[in-house]
Amino acid sequence: MEHPTANVQHGSQYSAIAKTQTTMNHPHVAIFLAIESSCDETAVAILRGEPGEAAEVLASEVASQIEEHREHGGVVPEVASRSHSLALNALVEKALENAGIGMGNIDVFGATMGPGLASSLLVGSTAAKAMSCVSGKPFVGINHLEGHLLSPFMNRTEVPRHVGLIVSGGHTLLMEVESAGKYKKLGGTRDDAAGEAFDKVGKMLGLPYPGGPEIEKIASSGNPTAYDFPRSMMQGGELDFSFSGLKTAVLYTLQKEPKAKSADIAASFQVAVVEVLVEKTMRAAKAAGVNLIGLSGGVSLNRVVREAFTKRCSKEGFELAIAEGSLCTDNAAMIAFAGLLRFFAGKVDPLDGDIGPNLRL
Ligand code: KG4
Ligand code: ZN
């Protein structure tokens, strides 16, 4: 996995701490506090972990900014970073209170380092580094995508070999997972992410931001066969995705038929996305020779998505692990979980490591 802090030079005021933080013997029990602030949710979670045991979520707090961004029809970076900095202190205190512990009980601090909005990532990562610096406890930087990818396995004692599909607002990624930390990309989107397509089509239909849940709502009373929208890049063994053609097809339909029933458009659009997601994931799982599929990210909250994967997996004899509802959209529990696994693998990061707005998995 590419990591933001892998090659940093230790030349800053933090150099003494940084040098002692890059190697650690395999630790045992740890209480991990993580901050997630990559986009429009400020989140803090505290997890207790022990190698070989399922992680225990002691607290998981999320302060959503959706209402603030709704009036702009999407996320405004400056509004997001200011809201993160305003919400964070109280959220850390709330997490400690709900976990029933004090700051002194935290063994490791961590934060999302990327991908995401630079100014938002800086707020969470700087706060976590500051707590690490003051307490003298280690810091672990976490890739947001690794958080999503591992989120279906938080209640297990280890991350099993599988193919994972991340479907969020920023990413549509198919990964082969050998074990925690060992990943190979099998496919990704060439243009819009699945959640982004939901949000853009939602906007075209005049629905509030974010469009995903709104489309799901109105689609339930629509006819999914009313419009035959394109399913792109389905030929051969292609594992990449493209959703911009589908989005454009919806736009042209609305221009041609301004009185088209929104529910029918939404249902036909949704089924087109779902069919592509399911088909490619099954292909990837077969090509990788795994019998387990993991599903994560905001779009995996969608009931039609969940049902389609459940049905197809049971028909074809695959086990399906879907992240629990509260772990699908952005949260810090998944970040703390990925951080704990990195920490237990002996990895810690220097305090002078940079964020990675375009960080890849
Ligand atoms: O994982 P997430 O919270 O943030 C990113 O890392 O991007 O995902 C947010 C995305 C948004 O695009 C949102 O519209 C979509 O997940 N989403 C849904 C549903 N709930 C959230 N899409 C379809 N159906 C839903 N029920
Ligand atoms: Zn996310």
The pLDDT value recorded for residue 13 is 34
Q: 188-222, pLDDT tens digit by residue?
A: 999 999 999 999 999 999 999 899 999 999 999 99
Query: At 172, phi and psi to the nearest 5?
Result: -130, 105
pLDDT value at 348 more than 90: yes
* Exposed/middle/buried for residue 119 (C-beta within 10 Å: 0-12, 13-18, 19+): middle
The pLDDT value recorded for residue 192 is 95
**pTM attached to this predicted model:** 0.91
The whole-angstrom separation of Cα 14 and Cα 228 is 58
How many of the other CB atoms lie within 10 Å of CB of 231? 16
Q: Among 46, 5, 228, which Cα is nearest to 131's? A: 46
pLDDT value at 8 more than 70: no
The pLDDT value recorded for residue 111 is 98
Contact (CB, 8 A) for 119 and 81 = yes
Q: 223-275, pLDDT tens digit by residue?
A: 999 999 999 999 888 999 999 999 999 999 999 998 999 999 999 999 999 99
Q: What atom of ligand 1 comes closest to residue 202's alpha carbon?
A: 14
How many of the other CB atoms lie within 10 Å of CB of 122? 20
Span from the CA of 130 to the centroid of ligand 1 (angstroms): 31
Give, using CA atoms, the residue closest to atom 14 of ligand 1. Answer: 212
Categorize the per-residue pLDDT at 162 as very low, low, confident or very high, splitting at 50, 70 and 90: very high
Q: What atom of ligand 1 comes closest to residue 210's alpha carbon?
A: 14
Mean pLDDT within 118-144: 98
Q: Is 152 in the pocket of ligand 1 (CB under 6 A)?
A: no
Q: 170-184, pLDDT tens digit by residue?
A: 999 999 999 999 999
Q: What percent of the chain has pLDDT over 70?
A: 93
Span from the CA of 168 to the centroid of ligand 2 (angstroms): 6
Q: What atom of ligand 1 comes closest to residue 144's alpha carbon?
A: 6
What are 220's two structure tokens? 């339930």
Please name the residue ranges forming H helices in the chain: 15-21, 66-70, 77-99, 118-135, 144-150, 194-204, 211-219, 244-256, 262-288, 303-316, 325-328, 333-344
pLDDT value at 355 more than 50: yes
Q: What percent of the chain has pLDDT over 90?
A: 84
Going by their DSSP bridges, the two strands 172-179 and 162-167 should be labelled as: antiparallel
Ligand found nearest the CA of 323: 1
Contact (CB, 8 A) for 272 and 227 = no
* Average pLDDT of the chain, as a whole number: 91
Categorize the per-residue pLDDT at 27 as very low, low, confident or very high, splitting at 50, 70 and 90: low
The pLDDT value recorded for residue 25 is 55
How many of the other CB atoms lie within 10 Å of CB of 274? 21
Chain Cα centroid distance, residue 234: 25
